[in-house]
Structure 1
Amino acid sequence: MNLHRPEDRDAMAPCLQRCIRFLPMLVLMAGAPALASAPALAETVRAFLEQAAARPGEQVRVTVAAPDAAFTTCQNPRPFLPGHGQRLQGRVSVGIRCGEHGRVRYLQARVSVIGEYWVTRRALDAGEVIGAGMLERKQGDLSELPRHAIRDPDQALGQVLTRPLAANSVLSDRQLRQRNLVSRRQNVSVVASGKGFRIAREGEALQDGALGERIRIRMNNRQTLTATVTGRGQVAVDY
């Protein structure tokens, strides 16, 4: 086609008019930010949660709920964790900021963390002191454990069980207390210390007490005072 010929120019006129009509729309499309498709948005959230929940020696598996139609207009999605101290196990809520003005939407996801925890090897009675032979290592989804489950066996060793437990029970720090170093009616060494002096006397414990606990002591002169358990059969009073 030769545009120098009048007949060819006339034939091209309708096409040029259509192109000019759609030119502003093409310009806007070229400059518009990319919208996140539902699969791409879910993948962005999955990668974000996997990184946030990652711990050495543990496996993280994330399942993200399918985004609804409102997310089709989400530009430049930026995921974040709403609130403070949200537990990154089990069902979690993820905030997503969209576009320049940071409009926020939310997605639901499930985070499974596969790691180690400890259970009782046999049935235990209340009052037993936890020893290494009483515990057994297990591996599974940590999101299914009680919130205060013990993950480090050192947290349990030497502690006293406050309630009976069946074999294969998950240990919780709410089921344990420190072992008493002082018993009620026991004679104890009472140490009073201050700047430049230290005095030791003998007294009688009126309560049981573990390390760091404050208990009442009756001295030989019948005076009653409050002291802190510092060791086996020892308490301290500060002045």
Structure 2
Amino acid sequence: MQMPCLKNADTPRLKRWGLWLGVCVLSQAQLGFAADSVATDTAFEVLQKQALQWAANHPSFQGKQVQVVPVDPRITVQSCQQTMQFEHPFPNQPAIRVRCAQPVWQLFVNLNSAQAFAPPNRANAPAPVLHKVLVSKELLKRGTVITPAMFNSAEMPAAGMENQIISDAKLIKNMELVRDLVPNTPLRSYDVKNAILVKRGHEVQVTAGEGQGFSITMRAEALQEGGLGEQIRLKNVESGRSLYGVITGPNAAKLR
């Protein structure tokens, strides 16, 4: 920086003026340095502070913790020379309108809010009731004929589905899934149906005479499909005679 220089400063009067000017220049330089060293808020930071003050007293945000979402980097927020004006024109939306009178501009910003509340005191909350359930060991696809080996027994809360859970592995024999079942999911009554153990046109091993002192096995063609315990119509492969049998397992039946 070039300092001002006074000629003929040997006179007392000029010496006094030169001393005054030197002090003045030095003071101004010190003041300028001090002003530069004080950090000032950006225009957006000022907007944030005023928006939070406004939201603290507005019915839509009062009692909530809010945060001003940063604006698009392509948008330049101008410094406002007056107090900004805020509005919430869309009650069901997080957007608020910010207006400045000098210079004149307006901007929409979003307030992310979360209801401020104290965490519930669970110290005295009753322990959830546990129920014995069957949970799948792995992903089981719809249409799978399930067996007890596909499930583990576990205990877990079952609020709202106490009458729907299946806890006895014996009940799922020859049952079929009607929807996919992900691992560790409890099995419910509406997840299963009786599996189709005999399909129409398939060969069926039919037994007769059990419990009567003799046993006969014959081959028959299924004229109907069905699940465990259902009665279907069959046709003897050798004689062509029609008969009825009760399904006892996969492609197995006994005469009625």
- The alignment's TM-score, normalised by the length of structure 1, stands at 0.41
- The alignment's TM-score, normalised by the length of structure 2, stands at 0.39
| Higher percent of residues as strand | 1
| Higher percent of residues as helix | 1
Higher relative contact order (CA 8 A, sep 6+): 1
